[in-house]
Chain A
């Protein structure tokens, strides 16, 4: 009996202790929840301070919510690292050199650890240096040996033949051919020739297409995947991380009254409209720029917190917005606009598919746009990669993440406090239709007029009502 009583006492104490332990708040970066905390850090969802401010129950709820995406992300990063450290084929070499960004290295560092990230960086640096050397002066035997652990033999053979093929190509290509046909519409006009979008009833028109309340209200949980933003992103980093043009500050053209805009109007039947429009607090007129580099130079000279709205207008694709030859992705936008946006200021990507597709929809036009996006940004590049000799699994992984990238959401995480908007669908601009653009004389408009598309806006990674 005595033994039984003692046992009961210990049992009660153990139960009470376990209950108390269960209520213990989970500390920031607790090793038992390593994937979840890595996921929080990557998504910039919490910091040590904001985590401490949560109640123990709220912490547990956040951890439970993050468990599944965090484990999925962990798996993805494991596969990514394994593929990155395997011997590359020729196409894989090209892909990694053109698409790997600093964010990818950071992601490897976070998920796989510093040593593995260092190994990846070492591989990239060596391969990149020797690829450059292969182009310029060719590879020596020692170089080929150094590449042995990193590249497949055929990729090394390709690199060894690079110099000879480059020389042959140079011989064949005359200066005239390199120049290419002069674009009638794109070259001469640096002025805004289109109508003020606010006077075209753009918002009401777009309701035809985008304001179906039955879908897309829930923010899409981004499982990361920024490391594989797709072929459309190739070269974006190179262009965007080095936008420091040495041109003089751009003089702001008058939006409609500039005579040059009329005299230099293109006669082209098709549209070549793109540009950057910047609204600043206190200014009567927006500043419009045809060239992205000019806009970046102007933004750098603006005081902090002065931009109330900036519109990047041009063609878009998942994870990337182009403005003519200038590309903008989340990282470069974050760098360009760092500190410049007013609180609640709006960054508008006026390009197709610059947000993720969102949730289910009953709108057939949105549904067709989703189908087209999947076909054009997953199926098509998948087959292209397969034709280039990339393995099926590698191609699938890469495009599975890339086709639904959310540029607006990713940018909102970089430009904190600002509202960042993009289109979940292909954005159709009637004013860009061949012939119509000529009638309207807006072939080189720097600001979009009517855009029919489903808009999504984010602030600090959370979806907010469209602006």
Chain B
């Protein structure tokens, strides 16, 4: 039981840095600018769409920064830096 608990906790902890990246990707897809017809101007995004895409960008790039941070921390732990 203890092993199972620790394994579950480890999985959750390992997954946690990826959560903002995944949410960011979803939001960026959901609020992707609509493709314009050939030769036509793309339809302007509404305010809420812009906000959604901004939130997606922040989560995505913040998440990537978080992952890099984790790599740095692990390198630090290993005594490389």
By a beta-carbon cutoff of 8 Å, the part of chain A in contact with chain B is 270-271, 315, 352, 364-365, 368-369, 371-372, 374-376, 379, 382-383, 386, 392-393, 396, 426, 428, 432-434
B69 touches A368 (CB 8 A): yes
Report the minimum CB–CB distance from B45 to chain A (whole Å). Answer: 27
| Contact assessment for A372 and B62 in the assembled complex, using a CB-CB cutoff below 8 Å | no
Asked whether, in the complex, the Cβ of B73 is within 8 Å of the Cβ of A369, the reply is: yes
Contact B6 A379 (CB under 8 A): yes
Contact: A432 with B81, CB < 8 Å?
Answer: yes
Q: Does B14 contact A (CB under 8 A)?
A: yes
Q: How far is the CA of A393 from the CA of B2 in the complex (A)?
A: 7
Residue from the list A364, A379, A383 in contact with B13, Cβ < 8 A: A379
State whether B17 touches A368 (Cβ < 8 A).
Answer: yes
Residues of chain A lying within 8 A (CB to CB) of residue B76: 315, 352, 426, 428
Assess the B81–A271 pair: CB atoms within 8 A: yes
Contact of A386 among B3, B66, B70 (CB under 8 A): B3
In chain B, positions 17-69 with a C-beta closer than 8 Å to chain A are 17, 20, 62, 66, 69
Number of chain B interface residues as a range: 20 to 34
Beyond A270-B80, A392-B2, A392-B3, is A371–B74 a contact (Cβ under 8 Å)? no
Chain B residue with the shortest CB-CB distance to A374: B13
Tell me the minimal C-beta distance from B74 to chain A in angstroms. Answer: 7
CB distance from B20 to the nearest CB of A (A): 8
Whether the pair B70, A368 counts as a contact (CB closer than 8 A) is yes
Instruction: Verify B3–A375 contact, CB threshold 8 A.
Output: no
Q: Which residue of A lies closest to B10 (CB)?
A: A379
**Residues on the B chain within 8 Å of A369, using CB:** 73
Find out whether the CB atom of A371 lies under 8 angstroms from the CB atom of B10.
no
Assembly CA distance A383 to B13 (angstroms): 15
Q: Specify the chain B residue showing the minimal Cβ separation from A434.
A: B81
Q: In the assembled complex, how far is the CB of residue A453 from the closest CB belonging to chain B, in whole angstroms?
A: 11
In the complex formed, the residue of B with least CB distance to A377 is B77
Question: In the complex, how many angstroms separate the beta carbon of A213 from the nearest chain B beta carbon?
Answer: 21
- Residue contact B2 to A396, C-beta cutoff 8 Å: yes
Pairs A-B, 6 closest by C-beta atoms: A392-B2, A379-B10, A372-B73, A426-B73, A432-B81, A396-B2
Chain B residues with CB under 8 Å of A368's CB are 17, 66, 69-70, 73
What residues of A have a CB within 8 angstroms of the CB of B10 in the complex? Answer: 375, 379
List 12 A–B pairs whose Cβ atoms lie within 8 Å, in order of A's numbering. A352-B76, A365-B66, A368-B17, A368-B70, A371-B17, A372-B73, A372-B74, A374-B9, A379-B9, A379-B10, A392-B3, A434-B80
**A315 to B79, Cβ gap below 8 A?**
yes
> Would A270 and B2 count as touching, CB distance under 8 A?
no
